């Protein structure tokens, strides 16, 4: 990754739900921060007027800051006060422009390289307790004997309870060669034992799973980092080798980008280059300056130039995922299946600031080969001051054309060629998974039956045991409707304490009706809960096997496999 003394040219593509810290080098032109002269008709001001306004505003901000810091009735944390002011300014722009402090800045290289210094585990907090949810094979934690389901009660003697998850992650990470001591309880039970682990460089693959399903190859990518092209290329070679070994005629590849929030722009171009001709236009970025356009084309010959390709996307496929899926669609190289993508088409540049701080600033937007703007319109609060004068939002009615003259539409995001909605979690299953109850039961099952043969995993006895586990945990499920009724009852008692008894009969009848409805829903959910429970148990024994089981029961993946098995329909979808 290229670095500059005072300016790092980095472009970010990440979902707004977490810091956008994946990077790609972009042109200097895209970084130009200049004021373009404009006419009075469009409300633009001259460069001189803008300079005066900026100078006056900085003076005013300084006066406000000084007076509040010195004279507010209670003591003020002057640093936090300034940071909150900066955060407030950034919030007026877009969800991706932000100010990063020193601690947040340290994570940039981890995301862009796909590696970090640590022990190789993922963690989550359930009911206030910290658990290891997976262990990366071959990494320090696995070598030291840490297992999925272990509860971490302390790190270097400091208890983890009531600690923020980011604070815990930072405590586990550290310089390579140093030792971290984790106090572990198996399944959260029994006395804790201390495991000393030497930190190492941990590289996390962006291709967590690939394999052959019947006659179709399947590759899942969960991000775009420096090594993504070689990881995807290796997966395709392995699939071809497996097909040849089994004497199977490979009918195509399914590239699963669902839930992939993005990553490096350059990585997206390289990934697309595995499937499309050399020198193909993949994406372009355009900044505020009229001459700032930067075009990205593939630079290598494709590995799979004619192998049928289906790309899976959903509402969490963002940015770099949209670059790849948009290019594949518009070059008519493959069929897009699933749900419309997120619509994140803003380019962030990284500007280094004093004291190891960083400004992550939107400096450009990116466009598909046909010129579609990927960014969806950003909802802005009209009641606030109007800071951004013009947005150039995408027009959802505008028609663009693919290489074969198929119609595609603007409006932000990538619309699939074949729309397939994924099976959504029921309210009950969502509650069980979010509370960690499926995970915790599977961990205990694994500890009680360490040598269990998965092919003998029964459904009824396991479900019965799981229900007893829920009772022991005092878990009681109430649907959203029942919770709303609880709120109504409390409100009535509060607002009309004397007369609420007149409504008691009606409320009790409604409570009984909702309870009966909930029981019916749980009964309908029993098969899905059993499948999810079996899959989670399997993950504790064989994570790769559990992934395969999940794909085999995935309705969207099934649609993709069926499409590859029907060459006539596949080809018809690529024609106008």
Q: pLDDT tens-digit profile of 240-262?
A: 999 999 999 999 999 999 999 99
Q: At residue 7, does pLDDT exceed 80? A: no
Largest CA distance in the chain: 80
| Residue 115 banded pLDDT, cuts 50, 70, 90 | low
7-41 per-residue burial string, b: 16 or more CB within 10 A, e: under 16: ebbbbbbbbeeebbbbbbebbebbbeeeeeeeeee
User: What is the number of other CB atoms lying within 10 angstroms of the CB of residue 189?
Assistant: 10
Residue 127 makes CB contacts below 8 A (sequence gap 6+) with: 435, 436
* 204-216: average pLDDT: 96
Q: What is the C-alpha separation between 494 and 472, in angstroms, rounded? A: 34
DSSP SS3 for 241: helix
| pLDDT score, position 448 | 87
Q: What's the CA dihedral at 18, 23, 28, 33 to 10 degrees? A: 10
Model pTM? 0.84
Q: Which helix (H) or strand (E) holds 211?
A: strand 209-213
Q: For 253, phi and psi rounded to 5 degrees?
A: -125, 135
Res. 430: pLDDT tops 60: yes
Question: pLDDT band at 464, cuts 50/70/90?
Answer: confident
Residue 30 has pLDDT above 60, yes or no: no
Q: According to the model, what pLDDT value does residue 5 have?
A: 28
* Strand residues in 293-345 grouped as ranges (E): 294-297, 309-313, 335-338
pLDDT at 458: 67
pLDDT given for residue 390 in this prediction: 73
Residue 5, φ and ψ in degrees, nearest 5: -60, -50
pLDDT for the residue numbered 31: 29
Residue 118: how many other CB atoms lie within 10 Å: 24
Nearest 5°: the CA angle 490, 491, 493 is 65
Residue whose token pair is 């030497």: 198
Q: What average pLDDT is seen over the chain? A: 86
What is the distance between the alpha carbons of residues 329 and 337, in angstroms, rounded to a whole number?
Answer: 10
Q: Are strands 335-338 and 418-419 parallel, antiparallel or unpaired?
A: parallel
Is the pLDDT at 34 greater than 50? The verdict is no
Q: In Å, how far from its chain's centre is CA 202?
A: 20
- How much of the chain exceeds pLDDT 90, in percent? 63
Q: What's the distance, CA 88 to chain centroid?
A: 24
**For residue 313, how many C-alpha atoms fall within 13 Å in the half-sphere facing its CB?**
32
Q: Which pLDDT does position 9 carry in this prediction? A: 33
Of the listed ranges 22-36, 367-381, 522-536, 549-563, the least confidently predicted one is 22-36
Quote the pLDDT of residue 204: 87
Q: What would the pLDDT profile of 182-205 be if each residue is shown by its tens digit?
A: 999 986 567 899 999 999 998 889
Give the helix/strand (H/E) hosting 546.
helix 543-552
The C-alpha torsion from 445 through 450 and 451 to 456, rounded to 10°, is 10
Asked if 205 contacts 544 with a C-beta cutoff of 8 angstroms, the reply is no
Strands 281-287, 129-135: parallel, antiparallel or unpaired by DSSP? unpaired
Q: Please list, residue by residue across 219-230, b when 16 or more beta carbons sit within 10 angstroms of its beta carbon and e when fewer do.
A: bbbbbbbbbbbe
- 14 — pLDDT class (breaks 50, 70, 90): very low
pLDDT value for 112: 57
pLDDT at 40: 38
> What does the pLDDT average to over 403-432?
94
Q: 506 versus 474: which is more confidently predicted?
A: 474
| pLDDT above 50 for 43 | no
Confidence of residue 75 (pLDDT cuts 50, 70, 90): very high
- For every residue of 407-425, DSSP letters joined together read EEE-SSS---SEE-PPPPP
pLDDT surpassing 80 at residue 384:
no
Q: Tell me what pLDDT residue 46 has.
A: 61
Across residues 27-42, what is the average pLDDT? 33
The 3-class SS string of 104-164 reads HHCCHHHHHHCEEEECCEEEEEECCEEEEEEECCCCHHHHHCCCCCCEEEEECCEECCCCC
Residue 52 confidence class, pLDDT cut points 50, 70, 90: confident
pLDDT at residue number 459? 65
Q: Is 392 helix (H, G, I), strand (E, B) or coil?
A: coil
- Select the highest-mean-pLDDT range: 26-30, 209-213, 482-486: 209-213
Q: State the pLDDT at residue 380.
A: 75
Q: Cβ neighbours of residue 360 under 8 Å, at least 6 residues apart? A: 12, 19, 20, 96, 97, 98, 99, 100, 348, 349, 350
Per-residue pLDDT for 177 more than 70?
yes
- Calpha distance 418→458 (Å, rounded): 37
Share of the chain above pLDDT 70, in %: 85
* pLDDT above 70 (res 6): no
pLDDT of 198 reads: 96
255 secondary structure, DSSP code = E
pLDDT beyond 50 at 130: yes
Contacts of 321 (CB under 8 A, 6+ apart): 224, 257, 260, 261, 262, 268, 313, 341
């Amino acid at each position: 990754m290229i670095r500059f003394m005072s300016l790092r040219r980095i472009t970010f593509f990440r979902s707004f739900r977490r810091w956008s810290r994946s990077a790609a080098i972009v042109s200097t032109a895209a970084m130009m921060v200049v004021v373009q002269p404009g006419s009075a008709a469009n409300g633009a001001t001259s460069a001189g007027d803008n300079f005066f306004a900026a100078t006056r505003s900085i003076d005013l901000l300084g006066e406000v800051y000084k007076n509040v810091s010195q004279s507010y009735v209670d003591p003020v944390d002057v640093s936090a006060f300034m940071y909150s002011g900066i955060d407030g300014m950034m919030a007026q722009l877009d969800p991706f422009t932000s100010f990063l402090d020193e601690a947040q800045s340290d994570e940039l290289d981890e995301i862009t390289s796909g590696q970090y210094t640590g022990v190789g585990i993922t963690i989550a907090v359930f009911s206030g307790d910290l658990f290891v949810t997976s262990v990366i094979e071959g990494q320090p934690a696995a070598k030291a004997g840490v297992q999925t389901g272990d509860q971490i009660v302390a790190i270097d003697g400091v208890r983890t309870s009531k600690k923020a998850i980011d604070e815990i992650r930072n405590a586990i990470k550290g310089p390579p060669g140093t030792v971290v001591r984790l106090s572990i309880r198996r399944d959260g039970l029994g006395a804790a034992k201390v495991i000393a682990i030497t930190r190492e460089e941990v590289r996390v693959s962006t291709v967590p799973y690939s394999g052959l399903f019947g006659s179709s190859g399947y590759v899942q990518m969960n991000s775009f980092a420096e090594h993504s092209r070689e990881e995807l290329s290796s997966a395709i070679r392995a699939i071809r080798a497996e097909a040849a070994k089994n004497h199977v005629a490979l009918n195509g590849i399914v590239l699963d980008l669902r839930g992939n929030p993005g990553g490096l722009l350059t990585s997206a171009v390289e990934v697309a280059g595995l499937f499309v001709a050399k020198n193909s236009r993949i994406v372009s970025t355009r900044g505020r300056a009229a001459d700032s356009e930067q075009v990205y084309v593939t630079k290598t010959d494709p590995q799979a130039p004619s192998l049928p390709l289906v790309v899976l996307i959903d509402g969490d496929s963002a940015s770099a995922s949209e670059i790849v899926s948009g290019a594949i669609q518009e070059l008519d190289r493959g069929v897009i299946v699933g749900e419309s993508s997120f619509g994140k088409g803003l380019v962030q540049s990284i500007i280094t600031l004093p004291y190891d701080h960083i400004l992550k600033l939107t400096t450009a937007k990116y466009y598909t080969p046909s010129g579609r703007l990927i960014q969806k319109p950003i909802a802005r609060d009209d009641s606030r001051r109007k800071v951004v004068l013009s947005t150039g939002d995408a027009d959802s009615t505008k028609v663009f054309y693919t290489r074969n003259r198929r119609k595609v539409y603007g409006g932000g995001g990538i619309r699939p060629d074949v729309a397939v909605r994924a099976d959504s979690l029921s309210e009950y299953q969502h509650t069980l998974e979010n509370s960690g109850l499926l995970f915790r039961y599977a961990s205990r099952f694994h500890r009680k039956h360490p040598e269990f043969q998965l092919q003998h995993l029964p459904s009824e006895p396991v479900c019965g045991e799981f229900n007893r586990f829920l009772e022991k945990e005092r878990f009681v499920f109430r649907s959203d409707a029942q919770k709303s009724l609880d709120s109504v009852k409390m409100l009535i008692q509060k607002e009309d304490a004397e007369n609420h008894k007149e409504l008691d009969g009606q409320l009790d009848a409604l409570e009984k009706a909702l309870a009966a409805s909930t029981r019916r829903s749980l009964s309908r959910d029993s098969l899905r809960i059993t499948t999810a429970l079996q899959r989670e148990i399997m993950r504790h024994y064989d994570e790769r096997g559990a992934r395969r089981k999940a794909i085999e029961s995935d309705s969207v993946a099934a649609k993709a496999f069926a499409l590859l098995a029907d060459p006539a329909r596949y080809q018809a979808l690529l024609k106008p």
